[in-house]
Amino acid sequence: QMVKSGCRTPRIELEEIGPSFDFSLRRVHLASDDLYKKAHKQPKQLKPKKKKNISHDAFGTKYGRLHMQKQDLSKLQTRKMKGLRKRRGEVTEEEHGSPKKAKSD
Protein backbone atom coordinates (compact mmCIF):
# COMPACT_ATOMS: atom_id res chain seq x y z
CA GLN A 1 0.00 0.00 0.00
CA MET A 2 1.37 3.41 -0.96
CA VAL A 3 1.34 6.15 1.66
CA LYS A 4 2.04 9.85 1.12
CA SER A 5 5.52 10.97 1.99
CA GLY A 6 7.28 14.32 2.03
CA CYS A 7 9.37 13.57 -1.08
CA ARG A 8 8.53 12.83 -4.69
CA THR A 9 8.61 9.02 -4.43
CA PRO A 10 5.81 7.44 -2.37
CA ARG A 11 6.55 5.49 0.81
CA ILE A 12 5.54 1.84 0.60
CA GLU A 13 4.28 -0.14 3.58
CA LEU A 14 3.64 -3.87 3.40
CA GLU A 15 0.67 -5.44 5.14
CA GLU A 16 0.53 -9.15 5.86
CA ILE A 17 -2.42 -10.95 4.25
CA GLY A 18 -3.44 -14.57 4.00
CA PRO A 19 -2.73 -17.49 6.30
CA SER A 20 0.44 -17.36 8.37
CA PHE A 21 2.06 -20.21 10.28
CA ASP A 22 4.26 -20.13 13.34
CA PHE A 23 5.95 -23.51 13.63
CA SER A 24 7.22 -24.26 17.11
CA LEU A 25 8.30 -27.57 18.61
CA ARG A 26 6.23 -28.21 21.72
CA ARG A 27 7.13 -31.77 22.68
CA VAL A 28 10.49 -33.54 22.52
CA HIS A 29 10.71 -37.29 23.12
CA LEU A 30 13.87 -39.15 22.11
CA ALA A 31 13.82 -42.89 21.40
CA SER A 32 15.89 -45.45 23.26
CA ASP A 33 19.50 -45.87 22.14
CA ASP A 34 18.87 -49.17 20.32
CA LEU A 35 15.87 -47.83 18.41
CA TYR A 36 17.72 -44.59 17.63
CA LYS A 37 20.66 -46.52 16.09
CA LYS A 38 18.32 -48.71 14.03
CA ALA A 39 16.46 -45.68 12.69
CA HIS A 40 19.66 -43.93 11.59
CA LYS A 41 21.28 -47.00 10.04
CA GLN A 42 21.66 -46.78 6.25
CA PRO A 43 22.10 -49.90 4.13
CA LYS A 44 25.38 -50.11 2.21
CA GLN A 45 23.60 -50.80 -1.09
CA LEU A 46 21.99 -47.35 -1.17
CA LYS A 47 25.28 -45.51 -0.76
CA PRO A 48 26.96 -45.14 -4.20
CA LYS A 49 30.56 -46.25 -4.54
CA LYS A 50 33.04 -43.37 -4.47
CA LYS A 51 34.72 -42.76 -7.83
CA LYS A 52 38.18 -41.26 -7.83
CA ASN A 53 39.01 -38.01 -9.66
CA ILE A 54 35.37 -37.26 -10.50
CA SER A 55 33.53 -34.30 -9.03
CA HIS A 56 30.26 -32.47 -9.64
CA ASP A 57 29.53 -28.76 -9.35
CA ALA A 58 26.36 -27.10 -8.02
CA PHE A 59 24.58 -27.44 -11.37
CA GLY A 60 25.29 -31.17 -11.71
CA THR A 61 28.05 -30.86 -14.32
CA LYS A 62 30.53 -33.74 -14.08
CA TYR A 63 34.24 -32.87 -13.95
CA GLY A 64 37.00 -35.46 -14.21
CA ARG A 65 40.76 -35.33 -13.78
CA LEU A 66 42.92 -37.07 -16.36
CA HIS A 67 46.48 -38.22 -15.72
CA MET A 68 48.66 -38.28 -18.84
CA GLN A 69 52.34 -38.76 -19.50
CA LYS A 70 54.45 -35.79 -20.47
CA GLN A 71 54.32 -35.12 -24.22
CA ASP A 72 57.38 -34.68 -26.41
CA LEU A 73 56.81 -31.30 -28.07
CA SER A 74 59.71 -31.72 -30.52
CA LYS A 75 57.73 -34.37 -32.42
CA LEU A 76 54.55 -32.27 -32.50
CA GLN A 77 53.22 -31.66 -36.03
CA THR A 78 52.16 -28.04 -36.45
CA ARG A 79 50.50 -26.28 -39.38
CA LYS A 80 52.94 -24.96 -41.93
CA MET A 81 52.03 -21.44 -43.02
CA LYS A 82 52.62 -20.44 -46.65
CA GLY A 83 53.91 -17.00 -45.70
CA LEU A 84 56.59 -18.41 -43.38
CA ARG A 85 57.82 -21.02 -45.87
CA LYS A 86 61.29 -20.46 -47.34
CA ARG A 87 61.49 -20.23 -51.11
CA ARG A 88 64.13 -21.88 -53.29
CA GLY A 89 65.87 -18.62 -54.13
CA GLU A 90 66.22 -17.57 -50.49
CA VAL A 91 67.66 -20.91 -49.43
CA THR A 92 70.47 -20.81 -52.01
CA GLU A 93 71.43 -17.23 -51.08
CA GLU A 94 71.66 -18.07 -47.39
CA GLU A 95 73.88 -21.07 -48.03
CA HIS A 96 76.31 -19.28 -50.38
CA GLY A 97 76.30 -15.93 -48.59
CA SER A 98 74.80 -12.70 -49.90
CA PRO A 99 76.17 -11.40 -53.23
CA LYS A 100 75.82 -7.76 -52.11
CA LYS A 101 78.77 -6.09 -50.48
CA ALA A 102 78.41 -3.76 -47.52
CA LYS A 103 79.25 -0.09 -48.10
CA SER A 104 82.41 1.10 -46.49
CA ASP A 105 82.94 4.84 -46.14
pLDDT of 95 reads: 54
Question: What digits encode the pLDDT tens for the residues 79-99?
Answer: 777 777 777 766 555 555 556
Query: What confidence score (pLDDT) does residue 1 get?
Result: 62
Contact 11, 3 (CB under 8 A): yes
Tell me what percent of the residues of the chain surpass a pLDDT of 70: 81
User: What integer is the mean pLDDT of 6-23?
Assistant: 85
CA 82, 87, 91, 94 torsion-angle sign: negative
How far apart CA 63 and CA 53 sit, in angstroms, is: 8
